[in-house]
Amino acid sequence: MNAKSLRRSSLVGVLILIIAFIAFKKIGSVKQTPQKDTLHSNVLKVDVMKVKNQTFKADININGRLVSKQKIEIFTEVTGRLKTSDKPFKDGTFFKKGEPLLSLVDTDYRMNLNATRSSYQTLLTQLLAEVKIEYPADYQKWTQYIDDFDPTQVLPALPEIDNQKEKTYLVAKNVYTQFFNIKAQEAQLEKYTIYAPFDGVLSETNLNPNTLIRAGQKIGAFIAPHAYELEVGVSLAEIAKINLGDKVQLKSNDISGAWTGIVSRIGESIDEKTLNFNIYIDVKSDKLFEGMYLEGIIDSYEIENVAQIPSNLIFNSNEVYTVVDSSLNIVKVEPVHENKNYALVRGLADETLIVSHAVSNAYEGIKVTYKLPEEKIELTHTNQTK
């Protein structure tokens, strides 16, 4: 073999070695794909709870805003300027029953009324001479009536008239007409002062002395503190389960505390806006205020032989997952009562194991592993009847 052939053979051998080395490195860099674990790929881990049928109270969840049970809106019936008072006519001012809430300046009207009374007194005085002649038996009582008359004071009642002829005489002289006109003016004068109809506080107002107030103007509201009414809506299915006198456990998300209310009124028709019935709950507390938002539970009635489970375990409206022989099983149930926390159902035997949480990728027949909890799962609902 000549030198040229030898060099060619050597070059070919070197190329073969390089190619073999590169191929070996690539083969070694490829990771082996692990085999699929078919034994455990279709097994779910779930939590379960045991079913126990018994008697439970069917709670109805409600919520709404408080309004004062005693509340009046204040309107004036006359025109005048607000008088200065020891108590300001402003939000939060407390008044006892019978105290004047406000008084308007009535000087002009009172003077006109006094002038009208004086004219009436003059009329009666002019009639005395005729009364003495025509009705001498009644002369003394009319004289006494005029002597006691004071044009600056409330008009006293007329003397009793037993004689029909005398009564006709007084009618003809416009005595009764003027008497009742004055009484109407006196009633109007009383409207210059507004009195508290009950113990309470002012709200929705902020008036200063000498403010001009016109007849028919709303100037505020007056409410009785600590006595409230909660108006709430309930569905057609729930209204039949609620009775007057049912107790309601109430709470607020804004302040701590709990209060007990009583169902005091039940509406007889459906609200067109909410399509619910309105019920009214009385509650008293010095910790509550008008406008507060409260939520609560009505303890309305008991249901026997039912299981209590979390509401979110029910799917397709009436199905739950149970565990039988380490496999998931779908059981149809009959929900007889449900709220946001729990449901009362029939159709589950005692000691049935049901899945106690929502499970994704679940289907009937899938194998599961589970462990019973050491303690019974506690639901939000706690007023179980023993």
Domain boundaries, the chain: 45-58+303-371, 61-68+225-301, 71-105+192-223, 108-190
Lowest mean pLDDT among 23-27, 73-77, 109-113: 23-27
pLDDT-derived band at 385, boundaries 50, 70, 90 = very low
pLDDT in the model for residue 381: 43
The per-residue pLDDT of the chain, averaged, comes to 85
pLDDT in the model for residue 14: 56
What is the percentage of the chain residues whose pLDDT exceeds 90? 52
Residues 96, 196: contact at Cβ < 8 Å?
A: yes
Q: Which residue has the tokens 């008697």?
A: 55
DSSP letters spanning 193-230: EEE-SSSEEEES-B--TT-EE-TT-EEEEEE-TTEEEE
pLDDT in the model for residue 11: 61
Of 146, 142, 89, 59, give the one whose Cα is nearest residue 339.
Answer: 59
85-114 burial, b for 16+ CB within 10 Å, e for fewer?
eeebbeeebebeeeeebbbbbbeebeeebe
Residues 306, 62: contact at Cβ < 8 Å?
A: no
CA within 13 Å, CB half, 238: 24
> ∠98-102-108 over CA atoms, to 5°?
115
| 61-68+225-301: CATH number | 2.40.30.170
In tens, the pLDDT along 152-186 reads 999 999 998 888 998 899 999 999 999 999 999 99
CA 3 to chain centre: 110
What is the percentage of the chain residues whose pLDDT exceeds 70? 86
94-95/200-203 β-pairing: antiparallel
**345-355 mean pLDDT:** 92
Q: Does domain 45-58+303-371 have CATH number 3.40.50.11900?
A: no
N- to C-terminal Cα separation, the chain: 110
**30-48 mean pLDDT:** 59
Please list, in sequence order, all residues whose beta carbon lies within 8 angstroms of the beta carbon of residue 316, skipping any fewer than 6 positions away.
none
In tens, the pLDDT along 301-338 reads 788 999 999 988 999 989 999 999 888 999 999 998 88
In tens, the pLDDT along 229-283 reads 999 998 887 888 888 888 999 999 889 999 999 999 998 888 888 888 899 999 9
CA dist 162 and 254 (Å) reads 70
* The pLDDT of residue 380 is above 80: no
**77-92 mean pLDDT:** 93
Tokens of 204: 């929705």
pLDDT-derived band at 197, boundaries 50, 70, 90 = very high
- Residue 235, classed as helix, strand or coil, is coil
Residue 101 main-chain phi, psi, to 5 deg: -75, -40
pLDDT in the model for residue 25: 60
pLDDT in the model for residue 362: 83
pTM over 0.85: no
* The pLDDT of residue 371 is above 50: yes
In tens, the pLDDT along 213-238 reads 999 999 999 999 889 999 999 888 78
Q: Answer with the residue of higher pLDDT: 4 or 97.
A: 97
Tokens of 287: 């910790």
Fold of 71-105+192-223: OB fold (Dihydrolipoamide Acetyltransferase, E2P) (2.40.50)
CA 311 to chain centre: 25
pLDDT-derived band at 114, boundaries 50, 70, 90 = very high
Tokens of 378: 């506690």
